[in-house]
């Protein structure tokens, strides 16, 4: 990897109790039916698409899948509307229905009793020292209003760490896209390395938002007890938009107040208003034009593909929500980003528009993905290697490369095994993303991380000496200066010299 330095610390085992060393690390250089969605039926379908030709047939039929569990080269399982199943039938690609009716399936998912919720809160306290609840009233998930109220509560409880909410712009139905600044001393920008985090760009993916609330509570409640939480709040500046697609999310809570709504797009409706024609998938509406219009076919060009579809819009950034984010991102200096989604337990890197060609920083993305998946066990790679379909016009390509802003290392995590995981999965899934959320924040600045260590022989006799090699690497995207490394012997029988 270019300009990527690994430092090896060699120490003899003798006389003094600790050694402090200072190093400099280089940075990485680093559809018109007038039907309501409530009556729209969705089924889980296994699609036997095994090769590029099969995917081309799907694409030619106008079916652009989003979010699937897949066995690459064999099949992928996706939740499809009746309209989409009709497209699938026309494509000629083989399929079978796994679950006939989503809402029957969703309503049969186990609900938690109050006692079970209390048990999980206790476990959350024991495991991560978090006492606040991330539960809401919509099948366990927070509604849009509950999210907004929680942001206000967070500001009241932790004014030293989180700003008043501010809007980065309004939506088609005149809602605010609320954002908060999270850092120690949050009332104005601090100059610290900046991180962008957002969730619910797809309206049926509320767990993405819950994972981020869990992370914020972890930061705030552990500032005094955990050195990583303290380091992050003192040395990073997070900009967090928990509900990117507010209109779509409110649509789901209106049609399905106990959860399970399957609307995914925004609410840009054509005139006369139709729930089928006009809605755009914000995560297919990003530029550049080259990315948005990639020949990979990773979005729909059918303006009547419906609220569950992947319609890309008329032009890159044709939508209010993406225009708002574009202006906001271009006004800041973000180094890393998480565009959080559900589902599949994937970590996805760019490029998406020319998948599977990597960016010039593919080696760095691989380090990030490998470190994250080592903890949460997710599958990592390009869209074709994870979700199993092509994507164009998504957030990550534009965040990574556009003349309007500096390079942002942006990754898409896909959490869980369905759009609306059972209530008892909300917290465990959020816990599974805690490390990755910490990690994407840490690597936005200098982040010198342990790589490996080795003694020069397996055992030592009393009085003997030897060497101990410890390897560190700056995995962050900024240069690390004056890094302090302290080695402390585990007991009095070992001494360490000063060098």
**Sites of contact with Zn ion (CB under 5 A):** 202, 341
E strand map for 308-394: 334-339, 346-348, 379-381
- Minimal distance in Å, beta carbon 204 to Zn ion? 8
Residue 414: closest CA among 467, 348, 326: 348
Two tokens at 155?
Answer: 């500001």
Two tokens at 29?
Answer: 């250089």
Residue 283: closest CA among 397, 401, 437, 144: 397
With respect to Zn ion, which residue has the nearer C-beta, 43 or 415? 415
With respect to Zn ion, which residue has the nearer C-beta, 341 or 349? 341
With respect to Zn ion, which residue has the nearer C-beta, 198 or 236? 198
With respect to Zn ion, which residue has the nearer C-beta, 312 or 341? 341
- Minimal distance in Å, beta carbon 386 to Zn ion? 12
With respect to Zn ion, which residue has the nearer C-beta, 120 or 437? 437
Which phi and psi (to 5°) does residue 229 adopt?
-60, -45
With respect to Zn ion, which residue has the nearer C-beta, 181 or 198? 198
With respect to Zn ion, which residue has the nearer C-beta, 46 or 341? 341
With respect to Zn ion, which residue has the nearer C-beta, 221 or 414? 414
Angle, CA of 249, 254 and 256, to the nearest 5° = 90
- Minimal distance in Å, beta carbon 419 to Zn ion? 9
- Minimal distance in Å, beta carbon 67 to Zn ion? 6
Which phi and psi (to 5°) does residue 81 adopt?
-75, 170
297 three-class SS: coil
- Minimal distance in Å, beta carbon 409 to Zn ion? 19
With respect to Zn ion, which residue has the nearer C-beta, 196 or 229? 196
- Minimal distance in Å, beta carbon 205 to Zn ion? 5
With respect to Zn ion, which residue has the nearer C-beta, 245 or 255? 245
Paired residues of 447 in beta bridges = none
- Minimal distance in Å, beta carbon 414 to Zn ion? 7
Count Cβ atoms below 10 Å from residue 149 Cβ, excluding itself. Answer: 13
DSSP state of 142: P
- Minimal distance in Å, beta carbon 24 to Zn ion? 41
CA-based R_g, the chain, Å: 24
- Minimal distance in Å, beta carbon 418 to Zn ion? 12
Residue 235: closest CA among 452, 471, 448, 7: 448
Residue 442: closest CA among 331, 345, 332, 338: 338
Residue 181 CB partners (closer than 8 Å, separation 6+):
162, 163, 189, 237, 238, 239, 240
- Minimal distance in Å, beta carbon 440 to Zn ion? 17
- Minimal distance in Å, beta carbon 263 to Zn ion? 12
- Minimal distance in Å, beta carbon 228 to Zn ion? 28
Two tokens at 74?
Answer: 């064999």
Distant-in-sequence contacts of 270-276, Cβ < 8 A, 24+ apart: 270/303, 274/32, 274/33, 274/34, 274/304, 275/33, 275/34, 275/35, 275/36, 275/37, 275/306, 275/307, 276/31, 276/32, 276/33, 276/35, 276/304, 276/305, 276/306, 276/307
For CA atoms 259, 260, 264, 267, the dihedral sign is negative
Residue 137 CB partners (closer than 8 Å, separation 6+):
143, 146
Total residues found in the chain within this entry: 499
With respect to Zn ion, which residue has the nearer C-beta, 87 or 340? 340
DSSP string, 301-323: --TTS-TTS-B--SSTT-SHHHH
With respect to Zn ion, which residue has the nearer C-beta, 202 or 284? 202
């Amino acid at each position: 990897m270019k300009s990527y330095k690994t430092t090896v610390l060699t120490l003899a085992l003798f006389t003094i109790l600790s050694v402090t060393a200072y190093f400099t690390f280089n940075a990485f250089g680093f559809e018109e039916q007038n039907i309501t969605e409530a009556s729209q039926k969705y089924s889980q379908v296994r699609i036997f698409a095994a090769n590029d030709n099969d995917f081309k047939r799907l694409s030619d039929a106008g079916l652009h899948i989003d979010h699937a569990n897949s066995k690459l080269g064999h099949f992928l399982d996706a939740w499809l509307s009746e309209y989409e199943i009709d497209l699938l039938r026309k494509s000629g690609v083989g399929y079978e229905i796994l679950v006939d009716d989503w809402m029957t399936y969703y309503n049969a998912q186990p609900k938690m009793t109050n006692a079970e919720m209390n048990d999980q809160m206790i476990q959350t306290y024991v495991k991560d020292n978090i006492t606040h609840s991330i539960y809401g009233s919509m099948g366990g998930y927070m509604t849009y209003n509950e999210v907004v109220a929680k942001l206000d509560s967070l500001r009241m409880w932790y004014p030293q760490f989180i700003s008043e909410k501010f809007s980065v712009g309004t939506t088609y139905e005149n809602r605010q896209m609320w954002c908060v600044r999270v850092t120690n001393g949050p009332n104005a920008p601090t100059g610290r390395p900046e991180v962008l985090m957002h969730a619910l760009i797809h309206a049926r993916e509320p767990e993405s938002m819950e994972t981020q609330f869990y992370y914020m509570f972890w930061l705030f409640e552990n500032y005094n007890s955990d050195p990583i939480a303290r380091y992050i709040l003192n040395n990073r500046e997070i900009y967090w938009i928990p509900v990117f697609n507010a209109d779509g999310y409110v649509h789901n809570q209106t049609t399905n107040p106990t959860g399970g709504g399957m609307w995914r797009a925004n609410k840009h409706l054509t005139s006369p208003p139709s729930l089928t024609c006009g809605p755009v998938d914000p995560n297919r509406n990003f530029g550049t034009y080259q990315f948005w219009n990639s020949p990979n076919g990773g979005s729909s060009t059918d303006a009547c593909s419906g609220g569950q579809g992947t319609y890309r819009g008329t032009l890159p950034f044709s939508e209010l929500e993406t225009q708002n984010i574009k202006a906001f991102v271009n006004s800041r200096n973000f180094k890393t980003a998480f565009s959080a989604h559900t589902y599949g337990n994937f970590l996805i890197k760019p490029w998406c528009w020319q998948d599977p060609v990597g960016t010039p920083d593919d080696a760095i993305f691989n380090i990030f993905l490998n470190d994250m998946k080592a903890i949460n066990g997710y599958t990592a790679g390009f869209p074709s290697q994870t979700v199993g379909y092509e994507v164009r016009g998504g957030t990550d390509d534009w965040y990574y490369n556009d003349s309007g802003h500096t390079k942002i290392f942006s990754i898409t995590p896909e959490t869980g095994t369905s759009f609306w995981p059972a209530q008892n999965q909300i917290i465990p899934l959020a816990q599974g993303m805690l490390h990755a959320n910490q990690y994407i924040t840490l690597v936005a600045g200098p982040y010198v991380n342990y790589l490996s260590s080795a003694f020069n022989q397996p055992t030592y006799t009393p009085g003997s000496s030897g060497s101990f090699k410890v390897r560190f690497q700056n995995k962050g995207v900024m240069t690390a200066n004056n890094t302090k490394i302290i080695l402390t012997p585990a007991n009095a029988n070992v001494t360490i010299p000063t060098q």
